[in-house]
Amino acid sequence: MTPPPNLSPAPAITGGTFAYDDLAAATGRFSDANLLGQGGFGHVYRGTVGGREVAIKKLQAGGGQGDREFRAEVEIISRVHHKNLVSLVGYCLYGEQRLLVYEYVPNKTLEFHLHGTGSGRPTLDWPRRWRIAVGSAKGLAYLHEDCYPKIIHRDIKAANILLDYHYEPKVADFGLAKYQAAEVTPVSTRVIGTFGYLAPEYAATGKISDRSDVFSFGVMLLELITGRKPIMASSEFQSVALVSWARPLLTRAVEEENYDDLIDPRLETDYDAHDMARLVACAAAAVRQTARCRPRMSQIVRYLEGELSVEDLNAGVVPGQSAVQRSGGGTTDRISRLGRVREHRDRDDHHGVHEQRSHQRGRGRHGRGGGRAGAAVLRQARGRLHREDEPAHHRQTHPEFVVRSRTSAY
């Protein structure tokens, strides 16, 4: 199959080859002092090559990948050019050693800014959280829908969202992702990812699709909204997944227009209620239990940018069918059942929402629970719909695991 005509062929990468000795020298012989992080694929080091700061990933040996296969993967990665994706600078093949050289992104990771320890670090404010959510969504949508072949990340998490000094996000660590032709059904593969972010179907069966990435992205949105980690300690010996904890609160946010127990207390009331309502709706749609009921990343981008209705965001769920409840995403699954009701009410509320929006940003009285614009978005979606209790035999629990490790951001 030939690439779609609107995509240019992969650029040559011969100019992006590096000598092993040069990379070793750039990192102080891969000194721990230059170690940025480590993960399942290898270690990442900071270095300077030709006057340019780079991040050098030294892949673990014994991966069973030949030179030809490695070069083919590098060629695919070299096609990826998007401002919200970390760029590949080049690579190195030296005996059994395989290294990838990426641009260096200086302002640490989303994980650091949300969950890092240490005093004196300011709270990640709402405008930056919103920018990170939208930019990350755009980068992931590009991998899924504008790359040939399609690239499935498999390890979307806060530690793989790098930030520049303007807090513009760059998705990292897709260098050893899963490539898939656009029309191919979900692929079975060895499970690679991080507990707390893994989509249930991927964790249980190893079957991966772009909707598995969507689930992980939804968990990351919950982190931005709540400020909580993907796995939380509920007691000395037990832990709970953020998704499981958040589900009833997402429902409450829609049905009662109340964010009080959901939003990161560090934000206090300093957030935009209209944007918060959108982020909550996207998170709830993305973490549905059933993969086919989750939206595509391009739908999430369009909804966050105001180009898509809640009804269209939830188009993957058939109104009135039990699959809605089986999806485990009660919040926006119920939203999707409103169909045309929202369409008519949208026309009446559109002007009011946007006129109020400029007055709400950063105003507490419009932020928490009582936000008028946020309430308008939710009311349009909710309509006359009453709460339905999910039958016990339809309930499914997201796997709960605890993993403590130093992870790679590339």
Please give the positions annotated as active site: 155
Q: Is 58 within any annotated ligand binding site?
A: yes
Q: Is residue 41 a contact partner of residue 60, using CB atoms and an 8 Å limit? A: yes
| HEC assignment per residue over the chain | CCCCCCCCCCCCCHHHECCHHHHHHHCCCCCHHHEEEECCCEEEEEEEECCEEEEEEEECCCCCCCHHHHHHHHHHHHCCCCCCECCEEEEEEECCEEEEEEECCCCCEHHHHHHCCCCCCCCCCHHHHHHHHHHHHHHHHHHHHCCCCEEECCCCCHHHEEECCCCCEEECCCCCCEEECCCCCCEECCCCCCCCCCCHHHHHHCEECHHHHHHHHHHHHHHHHHCCCCEEECCCCCEEEHHHHHHHHHHHHHHCCCCCCCCCHHHCCCCCHHHHHHHHHHHHHHCCCCHHHCCCHHHHHHHHCCCCCHHHHCCCCCCCCCHHHHCCCHHHHHHHCCCHHHHHHHHHHHHHHHHHHHHHCCCHHHHCCCCHHHHHHHHHHHCCCCCCCCCHHHCCCCCCCCCCCCCCCC
Cα–Cα distance measured from residue 353 to residue 146, given in angstroms and rounded to the nearest whole number: 33
The b/e string for 200-234 (b: 16+ C-beta within 10 A; e otherwise) is bbbbeeebbbbbbbbbbbbbbbbbbbbbbebbbee
Distance CA 260, CA 252 (A): 10
Signed CA dihedral, 292, 138, 216, 227: sign only: negative
List binding-site positions. 58
List binding-site positions for ATP. 58
